[in-house]
Amino acid sequence: MNVVFLGPPGAGKGTQAETLSKQRGMEHISTGEVLRGAVDAGTPVGLRARKYMEKGALVPDEVVVDIVAERIGKNGRCKNFLLDGFPRNLNQAKALDKTLSGLKDRLDVVFYFAVSEETAVSRLTGRWICSGCGSNYHQHYMPPRKPGVCDKCGKALQQRPDDKVETVKERLKVYRKQTADLIDYYEKQGLLMKINADRDVKEVYEEVTKALDSLNRER
């Protein structure tokens, strides 16, 4: 099974991807990790990516595509993979199709984790990080014993600038704009499966695995 996970920040797709890859033995390919891995390993394409990252610039599509393709096509074969955070736009999606058809393979399903703005904002703006030891907290899901103070080391908790309400709303807007034609592209190919990601982690996971099982039977 070759699967893509799409979804805005706050949809919880990273958590779902981690669980699914562990339970089903799928290779979890998270773009962020793959990028860092290639840069650390100093592969040719990793070195290309590093030039942009050192400048704090966005790594261009063609470099990201090459890095993901390198990972998918490792050992000259396609794997049972789960792509998380890729493709991010139509260009990358088309490049992915090309890579896969070169390996005589294809995508089986694209899950879109749909989340309301309200839920995403509540999930993302509630995150607090300790300024001392880096422990993570969440206002609703994992509150500290004393508000604003780390349970473990007693230092002050901070919110990341990325997690302020206005910034989160802006990130959601940008995401919707970037992915509208991507979603359309997969919908037309009959690959898109929408998941209501407003619900809790367990319910969402059950829906995903049920969908995968029914696809497996159809094959």
Considering CB under 5 A, how many residues would be counted as binding Zn ion? 8
Q: Does the annotation mark 24 as catalytic?
A: no
Give the three-class secondary structure for 130. Answer: strand
Contact region for Zn ion (CB under 5 A) — 72-80, 81-89, 129-137, 208-216?
Answer: 129-137
Min separation Cβ 143 and Zn ion, Å: 14
CB 149 within 8 A of CB 156: yes
Q: Give the bridge partners for 193, in sequence order.
A: 111
Give the three-class secondary structure for 164. Answer: coil
Q: Does the annotation mark 13 as catalytic?
A: yes
Helix 61-72 and helix 90-102: axis angle, to 10°? 30
Give yes or no for residue 32 binding Zn ion (CB under 5 A): no
Which amino acid is located at 90 in the chain? L
Among 132, 143, 147, 148, binds Zn ion (CB under 5 A): 132
Among 133, 142, 174, 201, binds Zn ion (CB under 5 A): 133
Q: Does the annotation mark 176 as catalytic?
A: no
Phi, psi of 81 (to 5 degrees): -120, 165
Phi, psi of 64 (to 5 degrees): -60, -45
By CB under 5 A, the residues from 137 to 156 that bind Zn ion are 150, 152-153, 155
Give yes or no for residue 157 binding Zn ion (CB under 5 A): no
Contact region for Zn ion (CB under 5 A) — 39-47, 120-128, 130-138, 173-181?
Answer: 130-138
Judged by beta carbon, residue 94 or residue 152, the one nearer Zn ion is 152
Single out the catalytic residue among 88, 155, 169, 199: 88
Min separation Cβ 162 and Zn ion, Å: 20
Label residue 188 exposed, middle or buried (CB < 10 Å: 0-12, 13-18, 19+).
Answer: exposed
Six-digit token string for 115: 């989340």
Give, in degrees to the nearest 5, the angle at Cα 148 between 142 and 151: 60
Q: Does the annotation mark 171 as catalytic?
A: yes
Give yes or no for residue 130 binding Zn ion (CB under 5 A): yes
Residue ranges in contact with Zn ion by CB under 5 A = 130, 132-133, 135, 150, 152-153, 155
Catalytically active residues are 13, 88, 127, 160, 171
